[in-house]
């Protein structure tokens, strides 16, 4: 390879490497501040509602600060929990504030639950099987979801309001719907009704306000993220806890760590939904048949309890970021609005089906699933679908990744071979190129003409080495996004020591430093590929250093992604061997080629003399 081709190749690799680095390692990590104690609502902004019937009368004020007449004293309402349970989840509500406290996923195992599957992956239930209590993924935002009146500085929190509870049960006695009711002394009534679907993580949520609400003209529906006990590497998961929202066609993701200690971030517009997300799970609220007027994003710090600290690996951080995403809704003239609330896995195709993707009135919830930048999605979606199809055939996601890599390499084989042959031809031309440069070193125009004649006589395109690689970059980025974010790979075993394709493979530790074998194998395949690539000695050290750089980048990445890259390295080495095997190694010198080539060099030399080109002194 000549110097320009080498530089182009290195730049192409750096683009991918830097993209990976920014995604996985160099996300800003602001220092977490100690948890801030909750402050009392500002005077005049506390709720005017009381539970009905049987709720305690609590002092309240209007927005202007004047007292609202209290209703006659009634017996206190006992705090209680209300549970909606389906085959998929267990949702726990509190009658104080009508908050959704936690959302327990029955078929997803937490890495650091009671059984500590992070340390004992062999004991983990099979994918899709019922997980024992205490070991399930729990989206416990404390609360995970809350409804309040007003927004921003004018927020009238209902957190301390006691609600009466009305339950609807199925024929088997299980709660299928629950309604929380509160009234104030002026006769206003607030009703919040939740209805479940046994085969879906989507809940119907209906809010009805009857009568005046003491000047409230907006509603705030807030989702809150949860302690990170579900994934193998909680410290790494902190980088992807985000507040999210879809306004018009613009999707916003605000990292919680970057919001801590700052004012809430408000965005105005036609809001389709708002919520929070971690790496593999989501909490979203979307108005049905309407639009919100704004989203609010906030970050907070959460200090783990002693029980939570005891579950996590040693030296894990004890303060974690929490994201809060609020949908601000104008109070409808009818006083009633229906919402769709989703708490569950970030499964693109399942969510797309639930939200009616592609149909008029779609909720567009599937856009919350992070499969890369918007320009990558036309590649990401088919690749994810293909990965799932291959899994259904072979029953192992590791084998599915191997087959996916094989199909991608076969599809790109013509481009790859064209690139390799062009790079090989440029490398073979180097001795002749050096001779031409030396001959015309003081005649730039003659040098350019001779070089172009040399390229033409040997049918070499100087851009042919890097251009095919650039055309493949969107596909490589999309594959990275799919293999790094697809929930299908979460806790998916491969073979041997690889128990989770969504986490780094862990063989053992040395003085606390984890030894990941698969990245070392990947680096070995990179050196093999380099060995088969003819490279001038002065450039070989640069290419070898690139392999060490890739090892550094990939060392902490999910094993599924590392395995894919390892397979691609092996296929690249094979194609390089085929390119060398089919190469005749014959170079046509510019002076002994066709008369046209010789004429090109001579005319270039003459034009240089006419232009008064002199040697540099």
pLDDT in tens, 581-595: 766 555 556 554 444
User: How confident is the model at residue 609, as a pLDDT?
Assistant: 40
Least confident of 70-84, 168-182, 336-350, 603-617: 603-617
In Å, how far from its chain's centre is CA 582?
A: 43
What CATH number did the domain enclosing 284 receive? 2.70.98.90
User: Is beta strand 242-247 parallel, antiparallel or unpaired with respect to 250-255?
Assistant: antiparallel
The total domain count for the chain is 2
Do residue 228 and residue 165 come from a single domain? Answer: yes
365 within a domain of the structure (yes/no): yes
169 in the same domain as 110: yes
Peptide bond into 53 cis (omega under 30): yes
Q: Of the residues 325, 353, 370, which one is the last residue of a structural domain?
A: 370
In this predicted model, which residue has the larger pLDDT, 216 or 232? 232
CB 99 within 8 A of CB 143: yes
Please report the pLDDT score of residue 329 as a whole number: 95
Lowest mean pLDDT among 59-73, 271-285, 470-484, 543-557: 59-73
Structure confidence at residue 461 as a pLDDT band (50, 70, 90): low
Distance CA 68, CA 103 (A): 36
Q: What is the pLDDT of residue 540?
A: 64
For residue 292, give the nearest of 262, 252, 323, 256 by alpha carbon: 252
| Whole-number Cα distances in Å, 103 to 89, 106, 285, 591, 616 | 7, 10, 14, 78, 77
* C-alpha separations of 384 from 23, 62, 248, 354, 368 in Å: 19, 53, 26, 18, 16
Q: Output the 3-class SS for 257-316.
A: HHCECCCCEEEEEEEEEEEEECCCEEEEEEECCCCEEEEEEEEEEEECCHHHHHHCCCCC
Q: Does residue 430 surpass a pLDDT of 60?
A: yes
- Exposure of 467 by Cβ count < 10 A (0-12 exposed, 13-18 middle, 19+ buried)? middle
> Tens digits of per-residue pLDDT, 74-111?
345 689 999 999 999 999 999 999 999 999 999 999 99
pLDDT of residue 572: 85
Residue 402: in which H helix or E strand, if any? helix 397-411
Q: Give the C-alpha separation, 338 to 207, whole Å.
A: 6
Q: Which of 9-18, 308-317, 423-432 has the highest mean pLDDT?
A: 308-317
Mean pLDDT of the chain: 80
Q: Is residue 52 part of a domain?
A: no
The residue-averaged pLDDT of 285-295 equals 96
Which of 3-7, 140-144, 272-276 ranks highest by mean pLDDT? Answer: 272-276
pLDDT tens profile 169-179: 887 778 889 99
Q: State whether 405 and 441 are in the same domain.
A: yes
One domain for residues 348 and 412: no
Residue 510 inside a domain? The answer is yes
* 142 and 213 fall within a common domain: yes
- Whether residue 115 lies inside any domain: the answer is yes
Report the chain's C-alpha Rg in angstroms: 31
The reply to whether 236 and 345 lie within a common domain is yes
CA–CA distance, 382 with 126 (Å, rounded to integer)? 26
Q: What kind and span of H or E run contains 525?
A: helix 517-531
Higher pLDDT, 141 or 20: 141
Asked whether residue 50 is assigned to any structural domain, the reply reads: no
- Is residue 210's pLDDT more than 60? yes
Instruction: Tell whether 470 and 547 lie within a shared domain.
Output: yes
Whole-angstrom Cα distance, residue 179 to residue 29?
41
Residue 454 confidence (pLDDT)? 75
Q: What is the pLDDT of residue 69?
A: 34
Least Cα distance to 288 among 398, 414, 195, 381 occurs for: 195
Boundaries of domain holding 471: 3-23+397-581
Least confident among 161-165, 486-490, 613-617: 613-617
pLDDT over 60 (residue 293): yes
Which two structure tokens, joined as six digits, stand for 415? 């481009």
The more confidently predicted of residues 447 and 363 is 363
Query: Which of the four pLDDT bands, split at 50, 70 and 90, describes residue 616?
Result: very low
When pLDDT is averaged across residues 325-349 and rounded to a whole number, the result is 95
More confident of the two residues 118 and 419: 118
- Quote the percentage of the chain above a pLDDT of 70: 76
- Mean pLDDT over residues 530-542, rounded? 67
Judgement on whether residues 287 and 434 belong to the same structural domain of the protein: no
Give the CA diameter of the chain: 110
pLDDT at position 209 is 92
Return the higher-pLDDT residue of 610 and 237.
237
Q: Residue 74 domain-assigned?
A: no
Looking at the structure, tell me whether residues 568 and 437 fall in a common domain. yes
Least confident of 62-76, 317-331, 353-367, 538-552: 62-76
pLDDT in tens, 187-201: 789 999 999 998 999
Query: Is the per-residue pLDDT at 12 higher than 60?
Result: no
Residues 364 and 407 in one domain: no
Among 352-356, 451-455, 518-522, name the one with the lowest average pLDDT. 451-455
142: left (phi over 0), alpha (psi -120 to 50) or beta: left
Fill in the DSSP letter of residue 230. S
Query: Does 245 fall in a domain?
Result: yes
Confidence band, pLDDT 50/70/90 cuts, at residue 34: very low
Residues 407, 366: one domain? no
Of the residues 370, 385, 420, which one is the last residue of a structural domain?
370
| Structure confidence at residue 182 as a pLDDT band (50, 70, 90) | very high
Burial of 19 (0-12, 13-18, 19+ CB in 10 A): middle
CA–CA gap between residue 52 and residue 185 (Å, rounded): 10
Mean pLDDT of 336-358: 94
Judge whether residue 561 has pLDDT over 60. yes
For residue 285, being part of any structural domain is answered with: yes
pLDDT for position 406: 93
Q: Within this chain, do residues 328 and 455 fall inside the same structural domain, yes or no?
A: no
């Amino acid at each position: 390879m000549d110097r320009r081709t080498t530089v182009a190749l290195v730049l192409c690799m750096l683009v991918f490497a830097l993209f990976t680095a920014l995604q996985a390692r160099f996300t800003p990590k602001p220092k977490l501040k100690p948890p801030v104690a909750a402050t009392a609502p500002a005077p005049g902004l506390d709720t005017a509602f009381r539970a009905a019937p049987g709720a305690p009368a609590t002092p309240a004020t209007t927005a202007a600060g004047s007292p609202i007449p209290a209703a006659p004293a009634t017996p206190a309402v006992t705090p209680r929990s209300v549970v909606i349970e389906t085959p998929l989840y267990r949702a726990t509500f509190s009658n104080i504030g009508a908050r959704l406290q936690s959302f327990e996923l029955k078929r997803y195992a937490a890495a650091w639950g009671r059984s500590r599957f992070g340390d004992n992956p062999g004991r983990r239930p099979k994918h899709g099987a019922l997980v024992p209590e205490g070991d399930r993924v729990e989206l416990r935002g404390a609360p995970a979801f809350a409804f309040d009146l007003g927004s921003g500085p004018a927020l009238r929190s209902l957190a301390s309001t006691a609600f009466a509870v009305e339950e609807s049960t199925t024929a088997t006695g299980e709660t299928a719907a629950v309604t929380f009711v509160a009234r104030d002394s002026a006769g206003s009534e607030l009703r919040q009704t939740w209805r479940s679907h046994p085969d879906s993580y989507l809940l119907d949520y209906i809010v009805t306000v009857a009568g005046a609400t003491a000047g409230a003209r907006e509603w705030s529906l807030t989702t809150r993220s949860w302690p990170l006990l579900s994934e193998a590497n909680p410290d790494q998961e902190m980088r992807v806890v985000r507040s999210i929202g879809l306004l018009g066609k613009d999707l916003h993701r605000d990292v919680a760590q970057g919001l801590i200690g700052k004012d809430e971030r408000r965005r105005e517009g036609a809001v389709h939904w708002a919520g929070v997300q971690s790496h593999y799970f989501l909490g979203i609220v979307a108005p049905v048949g309407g639009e919100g007027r704004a989203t609010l994003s906030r970050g907070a710090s959460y200090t783990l309890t002693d029980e939570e600290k005891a579950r996590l690996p040693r030296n894990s951080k004890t303060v974690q970021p929490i994201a809060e995403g609020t949908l601000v809704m104008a109070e409808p003239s009818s006083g009633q609005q229906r919402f769709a609330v989703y708490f569950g896995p970030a499964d693109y195709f399942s969510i797309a089906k639930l939200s009616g993707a592609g149909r008029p009135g779609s909720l567009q919830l599937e856009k919350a699933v992070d499969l890369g930048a918007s320009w990558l999605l036309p590649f990401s979606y088919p690749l994810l679908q293909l990965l799932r199809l291959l899994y259904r055939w072979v029953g192992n996601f590791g084998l599915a990744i191997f087959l996916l890599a094989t199909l991608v390499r076969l599809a790109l084989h013509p481009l790859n071979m064209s690139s390799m042959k062009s790079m090989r031809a440029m490398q073979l031309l180097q001795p002749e190129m050096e001779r031409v440069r030396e001959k015309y070193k003081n005649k730039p125009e003659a040098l350019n003409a001779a070089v172009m004649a040399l390229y033409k006589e040997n049918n070499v395109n100087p851009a042919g080495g890097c251009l095919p690689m650039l055309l493949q970059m969107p596909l490589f980025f999309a594959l990275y996004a799919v293999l790094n974010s697809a929930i299908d790979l979460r806790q998916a075993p491969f073979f041997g020591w690889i128990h989770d394709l969504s986490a780094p493979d862990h063989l053992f530790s040395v003085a606390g430093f984890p030894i990941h074998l698969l990245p070392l194998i990947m680096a070995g395949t990179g050196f093999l590929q380099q060995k088969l690539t003819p490279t001038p000695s002065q450039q070989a050290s640069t290419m070898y250093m690139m392999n060490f750089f890739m090892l550094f980048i990939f060392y902490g990445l999910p094993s599924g992604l590392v395995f894919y890259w390892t397979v691609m390295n092996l296929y690249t080495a094979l194609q390089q061997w085929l390119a060398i095997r089919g190469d005749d190694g014959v170079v046509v010198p510019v002076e002994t080629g066709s008369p046209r080539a010789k004429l090109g060099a001579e005319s270039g030399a003459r034009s240089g003399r006419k232009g008064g080109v002199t040697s540099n002194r």
